[in-house]
């Protein structure tokens, strides 16, 4: 309720540069997950300043376990977003497969009948 009715704010995993997690204790009954994003001015003044920060999500002591799960999930997603994507090779075409079989024929690893049968099967003759 501290932030009022400002609406929702969206963070994309690749934009987040840091996540601070503070478990709620029994005394304050308040914990938070605070996001650091480029150009943002996250609060550095502890709990009471953090709960007023628009880049902070607050939770109570009873919600500690759920908040810890959310924090771990977000950190994993950030790592995934920053990991280099593995390039997969393009699927081979029928022509590529026939070229491979022709190479096997030329090397003497298959005979002409096997090559012809392969072509017939894959070209629909």
| Residue 3 CB partners (closer than 8 Å, separation 6+) | 52, 54
46 phi/psi in degrees, rounded to 5: 85, -165
User: Is there a contact between 61 and 31 (Cβ–Cβ < 8 Å)?
Assistant: yes
Question: How crowded is residue 83: how many other Cβ atoms within 10 Å of its Cβ?
Answer: 8
Helix or strand or coil: residue 67? helix
CA 54 from centre of chain:
24
Give the per-residue pLDDT at 93.
84
Write down the pTM of the prediction.
Answer: 0.56
CA 56-42-84 angle, to 5 degrees, is 85
pLDDT in tens, 8-49: 778 788 888 889 899 999 988 999 998 888 876 655 666 656
pLDDT in tens, 66-116: 999 999 999 999 888 888 776 666 667 888 888 898 988 898 888 899 889
């Amino acid at each position: 309720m501290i932030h009022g009715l400002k609406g929702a704010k969206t963070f994309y995993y690749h934009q987040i540069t840091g996540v601070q997690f503070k478990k709620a204790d029994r005394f304050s009954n308040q914990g938070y997950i605070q996001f650091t994003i480029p150009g943002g001015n996250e609060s550095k003044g502890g709990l009471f300043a953090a709960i007023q920060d628009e880049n902070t999500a607050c939770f109570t002591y009873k919600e500690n376990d759920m908040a810890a799960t959310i924090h771990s999930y977000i950190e994993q997603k950030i790592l995934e977003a920053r990991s280099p994507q593995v390039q997969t090779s393009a699927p081979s075409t029928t022509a590529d497969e026939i070229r491979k079989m022709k190479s096997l024929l030329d090397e003497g690893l298959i005979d002409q009948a096997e090559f012809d049968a392969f072509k017939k099967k894959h070209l629909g003759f």
